[in-house]
Chains A and B, each alone.
Chain A
Amino acid sequence: MRFVYAFVAAFVAFFATTVAQDKKAVNPDRWDEATLELMATLPVQDGGRIKPLSAYAAQMLYLVHGRRDMKLDTDGDGKTDTTLLPTEWLLDVLFQPSVAADFPLFRIENVEVLDAIGIEHQSGQRFDFDYISYRQLVGAGSKKQPAETLWELASTYGKKPTEALAPVEAHIIRTNQGVTAYSTLYGLLAPLYEPHELVGAPIRAIYQDREEATFADLVRKGSEIAALVRKNKDNPMDPALGNAMSIASALTEAAQGRSRLAIFPPTGVSKDEPEWGSISMLAESSLRGTVTEEQMSMLDALQGAVSGPDESSRMASLRKFRNTVVARAQLRGEYDKVPLENYYLAASWHYQALHWFLLAILVVAIGWMAPRSKTLWALGAVATSIPLCMLIGDIVLRSIVRGRPPILNLYDTFLFIAAVGVLAAVIAELITRRRVAIFLAPVFGAMLIALARAFEVESGDDQMAPLQAVLDTNYYLATHVTSINMGYAAGMFASFLGTAWLVLNAIGFRRGDEAFHKSIVRATYGVTAFGLVFAVFGTIYGGVWANDSWGRFWGWDPKENGALMICIAQVALLHARMAGMVRDFGFCVCAALTGIVVAFSWFHVNLLGIGLHAYGFSSATKVALFRYYGVQLTLTSLGAVGVMLQRARKPALPKVGAAASAS
């Protein structure tokens, strides 16, 4: 790892000639729109699948920057002048590395991290985030590099159990992960930048007496260079060889290096040759003489894009590289969904829906001021339905891109549960027309989409990653996974409704309007019943899947137990209501607490680190989960106490006999 940082530091120093003096001002050359659009749909193979470059860029930017865009101050006035989208940022990193090294990249939420790694800072703890640049981490200087200190600290803290980590320690580990990932990215095209001087007759003979060769030239003649090395293996220091050995070393180093992003599709069919080539793999293949003409042509174009004589020729080479890769990917049948995924990312419907949900909250809140206005009620319903449709569209688009049912991972559950919860709320509102469900719906939707975004940033993973073998069944993903998550959604929204009933009663909202409060209870009952149907079917069908996968219907695995607990909670609640054991108050208290059971099943069991579903763990998720428990318990308790106090204040009804006597 030290070697990596030393290499990267040297690389940065190599490009450091044009560094702006003011750290805050950074002004990369802008890419034209046409090139950006083309490059966004360049297919790359990463994480076991083919994806557009824009998706790779977005994932990397999330991982290292915590956002899906980057705000730049180009003139040093402290204000944002331009915002880079992921593809533009990645192209800057690859093709303008010296400028990109000054981007405010790594998000620091705690200044103690800066203190720990030896980066000076002027202010104390801020309410917003600090961003430090790559140059600040690995820039050459007399002192120890902060990146090296960061790595050492992260290695030390990484030995601790996750739950024993202090927030600063966890932050240092996370930052180091981002720096490591970025180092790889930063050095991706590094071999292509430096021309190689050719010294000595033997090596010049290979290159028709040229004095210099690019990396692509080295790859083209890799087998001849390897043969020259083999021929002279007994006397490698022979002065007559010139720098043939160091040229061969450059090729070998590239082959063993970190330029691992697979951007060169093989010529064969995807079934027989599924793995794409990277710059390192091409360097390795060249030594064996197995680089195809087409791959060589791609590398030539990429080399031209890096070291072409002028801007226009570099852009022309870049477009040629992209078009050659796309043409091959199309022939291999691997390109069909790349433009669609790029569109999905650019459109970001769920993010648009988040804004619309916030607007809908406002619209519905205004509607509360005129409770008898049908127009405002309808407007609220429409304002909520628009983002709901966008969210459903987003989910459908994800499904089409992946060719799978809507839920494959924890991230998907947020979006799906948001959609189902809002849909259930809209239906409940159409039945009750009390503006409670329609008010809670956008709150629920916005909250879950925001959580999805936070989860995506925290995990830093590809949320469309291919499935593990055991999950590779669309039938059970469509039946068990979908229905169990519909159960989660309904359970969560019923909890919202129950909590709302408690809070509204506690504050005396519409005191005496029994029909209003009764309608919330009915909606809670209805949503609980809706959830029960899907939770029970999903749970049992999960057992059926387990019976086909692992040979047992039920194994008391934590995730299975969690699902069972939701079913039990909902069935017990409905039976208690039927038996008269709970009335409106008790029913809403229990429904509110069912949210905790749902959260336990949805996320907490994954954090236990045991069983067959121990995935998706992160310390931030755990913190968020316990915060939710705290908020839900507090709201339920305060609501319950408030309702009891309200009831205590309620004036006793006059006795029938007494009234009669008075008359």
Chain B
Amino acid sequence: MNAATAPIPPVVPVRPPASAARRLVDAIGSMRLAVWTMLFFGVLTWAGTLAQKDLGLYVVQRDFFESFFVRWDTGVEIADTFVLKIPLPGGYLLMLVMFVNLVVGGMLRVRWSARNIGILITHLGMAFLLVAGFVKMHYSYAGHVALYEGAKTSTMVSFHDFELALLRKDGDAILERTVPEALLAGSPLLDDAALPFTVRIGNWMQNCEPRQKGPMFEVDVPVVKDPSGAGVYLSQMEVQPERERNIAGCYATVVDRKTGAESTGILWGADFRPHDERRSPFTFEADGKTWGLDLRRVTWDLPFAVRLDKFQKSDHPGTMTPRDFSSWVTVFDDGAEQQFHIYMNHPLRREGHVFFQTNWGPQPGSSLRGPPWYSVFEVASNPSDYWPEAASYVILFGLLLHFVLKLFRYLRSSNHNATLPEMS
């Protein structure tokens, strides 16, 4: 080889070293980060699905998908010494990273060209979908309304969460203040100078039931007298994975500020009948007034009242397979009345609240028997109600556009024709 025939080395343009900020943006918007985030999200989803069998949906949703980190208890024992627990990034963290990565890498850094129009539209739809999920998580709430035929209400009740309501009878009206469940565990003292008493909460139990104290056994919780004079105590029950099946309870000790007199009662969050107005709070007298403490599912006011006019359930002939559940309701709003028909897949949407036909009763086999029937509506308030549907159209359009264009480009390319085998 001589110098004249030696290959000329290619000229490699020398780029100036990227700044730290630039490298950070590159990393945040990189496709590698997208792939790793998705892989972790896939593993988390798989783990969260399997974990539901033991933990139930509520706990899994909270611990796996609405968290920053989770330690997945696989239940697998290693050499009979310890249970394998795998740390994973939580769903909230992963979706946050995914959103930032999507916006930075998939929308801002990607070249805005006709070639990438499908990708841009798809990423826009995905980002919108994640935003919808964020809004749903932080700004929505859901509960239920259960009504017998002819009954009317303007409140909805949570499926899961409890609250302590302090009630005061004021003439015909009842005034109330509420304390959320999160503040009730850990034996808190409710002390407000405006009140003539303090309330000490003790022995908070997530799932329990009151039982009569017999002479043959002892219990390690207070025993209180019920109106008939019998001793009653709260018995701890196994916490159910389906959180709506748990009935919380606790002891409340009221101390009069003036006299120092104490009275202790049991608060139990059971709701025996649908939308039972006749609840039985723990009542006491203080400062010449009648007060009450009621442990109940969190209750929200609706912007209108609703009455169940008629409920109808029909089965496929000769079977117990339900064919249809239907409720006819009347909505009372600002003096006006309006009738609606709510049935499966056809909810009532009104003033930011959506009513879904979700259940009915009394079910066969229960202690109660119909008629009269009651109908149960799930009620949700979600500002991003329609956003996912809009996002799905955007994403579908983007994906179709991208892949169809890509296919046509490929079919028209010389690359494709070159790979076709020769046949005769």
Interface residues of A (CB under 8 A from B): 45-49, 262, 274-276, 371-374, 377, 431-434, 465-466, 468-470, 472-473, 476, 515-516, 518-519, 522, 526, 529-530, 532-533, 536-537, 540-541, 543-545, 547-558, 561-562, 564-565, 568-569, 571-572, 575-576, 578-579, 581, 597, 600, 605, 608-611, 660-661
A-B contact pairs, 30 of them (CB 8 A): A45-B317, A276-B317, A276-B318, A374-B424, A431-B411, A432-B419, A433-B421, A468-B322, A468-B323, A522-B410, A536-B395, A540-B129, A540-B391, A540-B392, A545-B345, A551-B378, A551-B379, A553-B132, A553-B133, A553-B382, A554-B136, A556-B60, A556-B64, A556-B65, A557-B57, A568-B39, A575-B34, A581-B31, A605-B49, A611-B57
Contact of B316 among A49, A476, A530 (CB under 8 A): A49
Q: Is B153 at the interface (CB under 8 A from chain A)?
A: no
Binds A, one of B16-24, B190-198, B260-268, B399-407: B399-407
* Residues B45 and A561 in contact, CB atoms below 8 Å apart: yes
* Residues B316 and A537 in contact, CB atoms below 8 Å apart: no
Q: Is B356 at the interface (CB under 8 A from chain A)?
A: yes
* Residues A661 and B1 in contact, CB atoms below 8 Å apart: yes
Once the chains are docked, how many angstroms separate the CA of A526 from the CA of B407? 8
Once the chains are docked, how many angstroms separate the CA of A530 from the CA of B421? 24
* Residues A533 and B319 in contact, CB atoms below 8 Å apart: no
Complex contacts, A465 vs chain B, CB 8 Å: 321
Given contacts A551-B379, A561-B49, contact A579 B31 (CB under 8 A): yes
Closest to A473 in B: B345
Shortest CB-to-CB span from B346 to chain A, Å, is: 8
Contact of A262 among B318, B321, B347, B395 (CB under 8 A): B318
* Residues A47 and B392 in contact, CB atoms below 8 Å apart: no
* Residues A550 and B356 in contact, CB atoms below 8 Å apart: yes
* Residues B35 and A472 in contact, CB atoms below 8 Å apart: no
Q: Is B286 at the interface (CB under 8 A from chain A)?
A: no
Shortest CB-to-CB span from A338 to chain B, Å, is: 16
Complex contacts, A372 vs chain B, CB 8 Å: 421-424
Complex contacts, B99 vs chain A, CB 8 Å: none
Shortest CB-to-CB span from A465 to chain B, Å, is: 8
Complex contacts, A262 vs chain B, CB 8 Å: 317-318
Complex contacts, B299 vs chain A, CB 8 Å: none
Once the chains are docked, how many angstroms separate the CA of A578 from the CA of B31? 8
Shortest CB-to-CB span from A466 to chain B, Å, is: 5
* Residues B354 and A48 in contact, CB atoms below 8 Å apart: no
Complex contacts, A576 vs chain B, CB 8 Å: 31, 35
Residues of B within 8 A of A (CB-CB), count = 71
Q: Is B315 at the interface (CB under 8 A from chain A)?
A: yes
Contact of B53 among A374, A562, A608 (CB under 8 A): A608
Interface residues of B (CB under 8 A from A): 1, 30-32, 34-35, 38-39, 41-42, 45-46, 48-50, 52-53, 57, 60-61, 64-65, 129, 132-133, 136, 142, 315-319, 321-325, 343-347, 354, 356, 358, 378-380, 382, 385, 388-389, 391-392, 395-396, 399-400, 403, 406-407, 410-411, 416, 418-424
Shortest CB-to-CB span from B67 to chain A, Å, is: 12
* Residues B42 and A565 in contact, CB atoms below 8 Å apart: yes
Shortest CB-to-CB span from A529 to chain B, Å, is: 5
Number of interchain pairs (Cβ within 8 Å): 195
Closest to A46 in B: B318
Given contacts A551-B354, A556-B61, A557-B57, contact A581 B392 (CB under 8 A): no
Contact of A536 among B31, B343, B399, B424 (CB under 8 A): B399
* Residues A433 and B423 in contact, CB atoms below 8 Å apart: yes
* Residues A469 and B48 in contact, CB atoms below 8 Å apart: no
Complex contacts, A551 vs chain B, CB 8 Å: 142, 347, 354, 356, 358, 378-380
* Residues B403 and A469 in contact, CB atoms below 8 Å apart: no
Contact of A552 among B142, B324, B418, B422 (CB under 8 A): B142
Given contacts A551-B354, A581-B35, contact A470 B344 (CB under 8 A): yes
Once the chains are docked, how many angstroms separate the CA of A609 from the CA of B35? 31
Contact of A515 among B318, B324, B419 (CB under 8 A): B419
Shortest CB-to-CB span from B44 to chain A, Å, is: 10
* Residues B324 and A472 in contact, CB atoms below 8 Å apart: yes
Once the chains are docked, how many angstroms separate the CA of A530 from the CA of B38? 19
* Residues B395 and A537 in contact, CB atoms below 8 Å apart: yes
Once the chains are docked, how many angstroms separate the CA of A371 from the CA of B315? 59
Contact of A541 among B39, B46, B392 (CB under 8 A): B392
* Residues A544 and B388 in contact, CB atoms below 8 Å apart: yes
- Top 3 closest pairs, chain A to chain B, by CB: A48-B316, A579-B31, A540-B392
Shortest CB-to-CB span from A464 to chain B, Å, is: 12
